Every structure is written in C-alpha cells, then in structure tokens.
Chains A and B, each alone.
Chain A
Amino acid sequence: MTIKDKRLDEELFLKEREEVLKAWPTGKEVDFDEAVAYHKSIPEERIMVNTLMKADQVGKTLIQPRAGVALPEEHIGLLQYLREEGEADLLPTTIDSYTRQNQYREAENGIKESREMGRSMLNGFPAVNHGVKVCRQVNEAVNVPVQVRHGTPDARLLAEITLAGGFTDFEGGGISYNIPYAKSVAIEDTIRYWQYVDRLVGYYQEHGVNINREPFGPLTGTLVPPSISHSVAIIEALLAARQGVKYLSLGYGQNGNLIQDVAAIQSLRELARDYLDKFGYDDVMVTTVFHQWMGGFPQDESKAYAVISWGAAAASLSRATKVIVKTPHEAMGIPTKEANAAGLKTTKQIVNMLQDQGLEQTHNMDEEKEMIIRETEQILNRVLELGDGDLVQGTVRAFSAGVMDIPFAPSKHNAGQVLPARDNQGAVRYLNFGNLPFSHDVKEYHREKLSERGQVEDREVDFQMVIDDIYAIGKGMLVGRPR
C-alpha cells in the first residue's frame, strides 16, 4: 500500500490499535477511555503543553535533562533528584535501547540483571515492560511534566503504554527516529508508524487531552547543517499536524557558532509557522527546543562545563522555549545523577542570568538566517515536487534521490553523500552537497566560506578537515585546526 499524507481512517486505526496492543502483555493495561479520564485528573503543573506555552509567552527558556534507568524505584528517585537538586523545569523518561528496537525480551532480561547486579544494566527506562501503572507512578512522583524521549523507529506500542501511563509529551518522528537510529527500516514504514503515533496523540486531543509532540531535532548530532535538520523538523511537523497533533516542539542541535545557532532557532520558528499556516494548520502551536552540543565532549569535567555553559548561553539568547542539557560525564557515557544535576545547575545559572538580556540583531545574524531559510525552502520545494504535492511520497523519493541526506547517519536508506565542515568562524557549512537541490549561489556561498578557512589553514578543504572538526570540541577547540 502506498502511504500518503492523509489522516488515518478511524476504523482502520482502531483495528490496528488492537493488533499493536497485543505485541506485549502490558498492552492489555491500555484502556483509552479510562486513560482520557486519567489525563483529565492530572494537575496543571504536570501537563507539558501548559508549562511550555507559559514559558513561551514570557520568553523564558526551560531546562530539561536526559535520564532513565532500568528499575522503577531507582528511576523515580533519579527524577526526584534532578527536580530537587538539579532544579529541572521539565523531566524526561529516556527509554533504553532494547525497547527502542522493540526487543522487549532483551529489556526484560536487562531488568532482571539490573535487580541481580544492584545497578542499572540498561541505558534507559523500559516503559513497555513496566506497563501503564508503573508509568503513572513515575509521573505522579514528581510535580513537573515528564516527556518520553527515546529513538524508536516503531514506537506505536511505546506511545500507547506511555500516553495511557500519563506522560504528556512524546518525542520522535518517522524521519528523525529512523535515519539516525536504524540501519535498514524503510522510511515509508517509519512514516506510517509515526502517522499512527501522531494519530493517537490527535485522538487524545479530540477527547480533550493536550499532548505535546517533539520531532527529534539534532538527528545524528554531528555537524548537521541547520537547513537539513530544519527540513526534517518541518516535514515531521506537517505530518503530525495532518494526524491531528496541535502542539509541537521543534528542535535544533547546537553547532557552536553563536550567530549561526541563534539564527537557526529564529529561522526554525519562522519557517515552521510559515509552512504550518500555508498548509492550513494555523491552529497548531509551535515551541522550540535547543540541544546543547550533541557531538564529542571533552573528558575533563571543567572543560565539559564550559561546553554546557556555551550551549546554555546560545539557548537563552536564541529564546528557545527549552534547552536539553548535557552533563560533565558526557565523554564517558551515561552520567551519575550528581553529574546530571551539575549540568542542570550550570545551565540554570546561565539561563537565569541571560533571561533579561537580548542579542542585537546584527547584519551577520540576518544574513545567516536568510541563508538557512533559503536552503530549507529549496529542499522542501523539491520534496513537494518529487511527491507531486504529497509530502510522504515526496519524502520517500527525496531520500532515495539524495535530495534529503543526513550526514553520518547509519541508515542504508540515506544517501550519505553530504559532508559538513566548519568555516573559519566555526559555523557549519556544506563541503559536499551530495544531491541537495541548492541553487548555484547557495553553493557558491558555502564554497567561499570553506575556501576562506582552507587559505587560513593553508590546506585542502577535504575529509581530513571534517574529521578534525568532529574531534575538535573534545580536544578543546571549536574549529579543527591542523595539529
């Protein structure tokens, strides 16, 4: 069956739900009407949409960590600690990697081993295995909204369990949780799975329950040029809106050049509003998410705090609605709760100090914003052309033609031809355009920026430059200058 950008037929959707809920025994715990009634009993301060909308109105940047461990009691303790000690405004429940691949048996084994070993053997919270009741215990144990964060190509069951479990925000999307998170799942399949998730959110919405949806902004987290991540964010926003989603947070991963990072959040907001309105979704609300640097971190904790601080500053100055926070243990993997709280407090201090300061809208910033908007429009126009107006088919064809192409992604359905590199000021530019549908002058702009760096460093603009840039921040620099 060819998948189109159409709202799922209700009868077929409800039939599919029955199948989805049978995939693991905890699916039996899901009762939609009861879940709607439960959501209506959730106090204001634990509903994500309320908190995000309020922050957005006053231009405040909220802070949110990543966190998840195998066992419920430990997970609850972790969230409470990050709220109380870390001063987190919003909390996450990060899902483990087995659950992300629908490997519920392996997750079960991880839960068992975690109990035996007395430490978490999983890198997140296996929400499907724990089921609806335990999810509600998690939400009820804290006084702020909790979001499900993961990386699951087929998250239908996870969405069913966690939404019935009282979570009010769900991350992911058919592109952003496929290309950076899977090896061989077809894009058409993941778009279809995420139509289901979005339809489920829309279904709650129609029953009076506000649930926020957040496409995953940073993608592979490695020097992703803003116009690539913006294109994905806007497509996923439009696909979600089609299924009845009314509240969206669109994200972007910090690249490290302040002007480019601020311009990226500004342009993301404008582009999203523009496209949603153009498609007739003017009642869909958009907030923004800024991810602190997602690439390699310095091992040294003081240096890591500096990277965290720079991300906090860029997030605040860009007026992003929330910032996702890194920790001083980033280079070592999953942090202790103390390190996680430390990253949060560092961020909180900076966000508070910058809340009443603005950044002057300079010529450079306008130029940067203009370029991001032009590039994104060129990509999205070609996607729509390729789909004869249909966004799903356009997206599928765009990936197979390399018109959309995400650098360093593991998926075999991604062309992998695009290569980014930093220019002489550290902004991320295109070194290889692959098949991105950019106009001649856009390409010239990037070539000039990179050749300027090549001249300063007296070397060729090539793959070695890319490698140097990937390691640079971990080694104490932004631009990977020759050693």
Chain B
Amino acid sequence: MAGKNDDNKPTVVLGVIGADVHAVGNQILEHALREAGFDVANIGVMVSQKEFVSAAIETGAEAIWVSSLYGHGEMDCRGLREKCIEAGIGDILIYVGGNLVVGKQDWEKVRKLFLDMGFDRVYPPGTLPEEAIADLEEDLKSRGVL
C-alpha cells in the first residue's frame, strides 16, 4: 500500500510520546527523513497514543516513529500496538528510540521489553538517523512498498 499523498512517497508519523518535551532530536529526524525522500507527519512533542494512531490513519502512513527521551517510555508506550490493531492499522511499522527507561539498564532487556510490546524496531540512545532510515527502507522494501 503506498501513501495517500499525491507524490507517492511513503509517510512516517513522527512524535515524542507522553509528557516528554524533548524537541531537538524530533526536528533533526524530520529533516533527515525528508532528505531521505519520505513524507513526514511530524506531530511534535507530548503526543498521546491516540494522536499517533489518528495521525497515522489521516495520512495513510506506513510507519510510526516514537521517540521517548525522559525515562517514562515504558509506561507511555504500553498498549500502542493494541490501539493500532483496534483502529484497523494493526500491521503498521512502529519504531521506538531514545532513553526508554529510567536509569542505565541492560540494553538487550530493554530491547526485548519493547519488542514484546509490539514494536518492530527498538533503538538505543545515540543512534544516528541514517541507521533507522536504512532499516525503514529495508522493511518497506520487504513489504513491497519501496
């Protein structure tokens, strides 16, 4: 399924979840995604799960990129996949990245925690935009979108 935009570029919904206001990475990701040829629906900081889902439906997005930098990610992200399923977009790609939990914890455990929540890809702090963009291109190709 291609994006519903006229230009046929795939669309990514981008936002920072919960009560988190970290805006810098969000602005850089938007820039990097656009440079890489994606349409970006950047819904900014302090985004609820519902807003992510609505934006994905409105824009016919192929992927949702969730950022969480402030440590509450575990509580904020739980149930996002289920909300997508309820809304009829259960197979949408969902990536998450940032400082996802409070404190320095074993990364593999954190990764598994979020994979179990239904995220397709999970990124540690310090990941460069290029890395996640390459993964997105690969996932979209394997789905026949790109």
Contacts and interface: CB of A to CB of B under 8 A. Distances in A.
Interface in A333-382: 333-336, 339
State the main secondary structure of chain A at its contact with B.
loop
Contact of B21 (A123, A339, A410): A410
Given A335-B104, A474-B126, A222 B24 contact: yes
Contacts of B19: 97-98, 100-101, 103, 106
Interface string A180-206: 111100000000000000000000000
Given A182-B46, A295-B24, A296-B126, 17 more contacts: A97-B72, A101-B19, A106-B19, A110-B72, A121-B75, A123-B72, A220-B24, A222-B24, A299-B125, A333-B99, A333-B102, A333-B104, A335-B103, A335-B104, A410-B45, A463-B31, A467-B32
B97 to A, nearest CB: 12
Interface of A: 97-98, 100-101, 103, 106, 109-110, 113, 119-123, 151, 180-183, 220, 222, 295-296, 299, 329, 331-336, 339, 408-410, 463, 467, 470-471, 474
12 contacts: A100-B19, A109-B75, A119-B102, A122-B71, A332-B104, A333-B100, A333-B125, A334-B99, A335-B103, A336-B104, A410-B22, A471-B128
Contact of A120 (B23, B102, B126): B102
Given A123-B70, A334-B71, A463-B31, A182 B103 contact: no
Given A121-B75, A333-B99, A408 B125 contact: no
Nearest to B18: A97
B53 interface: no
A299 B126 CA distance: 7
A331 B126 contact: yes
A329 B126 contact: no
Interface string B21-40: 11110111001100000000
A304 to B, nearest CB: 12
Interface of B: 18-24, 26-28, 31-32, 44-46, 69-72, 74-75, 99-104, 125-126, 128
What are the 10 closest A-B residue pairs judged by CB atoms, nearest first? A333-B99, A410-B23, A123-B71, A410-B45, A97-B19, A101-B19, A408-B24, A332-B104, A222-B24, A183-B46
State the main secondary structure of chain B at its contact with A.
loop
Nearest to A70: B102
Nearest to B75: A121
Contacts, number: 93
A296 B127 CA distance: 12
Contacts of A329: 104
B70 A470 contact: no
A331 B124 CA distance: 10
A109 B21 CA distance: 20
A339 B103 CA distance: 10
| Residue with the highest number of chain B CB atoms closer than 10 Å, among A295, A296, A408, A410 | A410
B31 A333 contact: no
A123 B102 contact: yes
B55 to A, nearest CB: 14
Given A121-B102, A181-B21, A222-B24, A332 B125 contact: yes
B99 A183 contact: no
A98 B75 CA distance: 11
Contact of A409 (B23, B75, B126, B128): B23
